[in-house]
C-alpha cells in the first residue's frame, strides 16, 4: 500500500468483517458507545504510558454478552491490522503525509476504543491533535509515542491470544 494512499476505511472494514463473522457488531457498537465518555476522559487527561495497554476485563465483559462469547477471531484480526498500521505509520511519517497520518490516527483512535486499548486511543488522539496545530517537534513526538503504543498493544494481543490457545487445549 502506498503511504500517500492510506485509507483507514479499508483497515476498518477488515476489522468489522471479523466482528460481523460471529454476530457481535451491535454488541460491540453499544459497548463502545457506553464506554466512549470514559475513554474520552482518559484521552484528555492522561498520557498513554499511564493507561492500560488492554482492558482485558472489559473485553471479557463484552464476550459475556455475545452469542458464542468469544472475541478471539476479532482480536486476532485487530492485532494483524495494528501490525500493518505500524508499517503504514512509518511510511506516512517518512513522506510527511500529514493527511494520511490524520486519517490513520483517527481510525486507530476509534478501533482502539472499541477493543479497549485506552493507551493506544490516547496516543492516536494526541497525534490527531498535533496534526491540527502542526509543529514538527510535536508531530514527531506524538508519532513516536503512537508507534511505541502500537507495538505494546500488538505484543499484548499476541500474549492474550497465546494464553487463550493454551487454555483451550
User: Of 68, 75, 80, which Cα lies nearest the Cα of 117?
Assistant: 75
- Integer Cα distance of 49 and 119 in angstroms: 7
What grid cell was written down for 61? 465483559
Per-residue pLDDT of 100-148, as tens digits, reads: 999 999 999 999 999 999 999 999 999 999 999 867 788 999 999 999 9
User: Residue 51, Cα to own-chain centre: how many angstroms?
Assistant: 14
* C-alpha separations of 145 from 29, 77, 120 in Å: 27, 23, 9
Band (pLDDT 50/70/90 cuts) for residue 77 is very high
List of domains in the chain: 3-168 (1.20.120)
pTM of the model: 0.75
Q: Identify the residue whose cell numbers are 500529514.
A: 98
Amino acid at each position: 500500500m502506498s503511504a500517500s494512499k492510506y485509507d483507514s476505511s479499508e483497515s476498518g472494514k477488515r476489522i468489522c468483517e471479523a466482528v460481523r463473522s460471529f454476530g457481535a457488531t451491535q454488541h460491540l457498537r453499544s459497548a463502545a458507545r457506553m464506554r466512549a465518555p470514559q475513554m474520552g476522559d482518559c484521552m484528555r487527561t492522561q498520557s498513554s504510558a499511564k493507561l492500560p495497554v488492554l482492558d482485558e476485563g472489559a473485553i471479557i465483559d463484552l464476550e459475556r454478552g455475545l452469542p458464542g462469547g468469544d472475541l478471539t477471531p476479532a482480536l486476532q484480526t485487530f492485532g494483524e491490522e495494528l501490525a500493518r498500521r505500524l508499517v503504514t505509520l512509518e511510511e506516512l511519517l517518512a513522506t510527511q503525509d500529514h493527511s494520511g497520518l490524520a486519517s490513520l490516527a483517527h481510525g486507530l483512535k476509534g478501533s482502539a476504543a472499541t477493543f479497549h486499548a485506552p493507551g493506544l486511543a490516547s496516543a492516536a488522539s494526541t497525534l490527531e491533535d498535533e496534526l491540527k496545530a502542526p509543529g514538527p517537534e510535536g508531530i514527531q513526538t506524538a508519532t513516536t509515542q503512537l508507534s511505541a503504543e502500537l507495538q505494546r498493544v500488538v505484543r499484548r494481543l499476541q500474549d492474550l491470544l497465546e494464553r487463550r490457545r493454551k487454555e483451550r487445549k
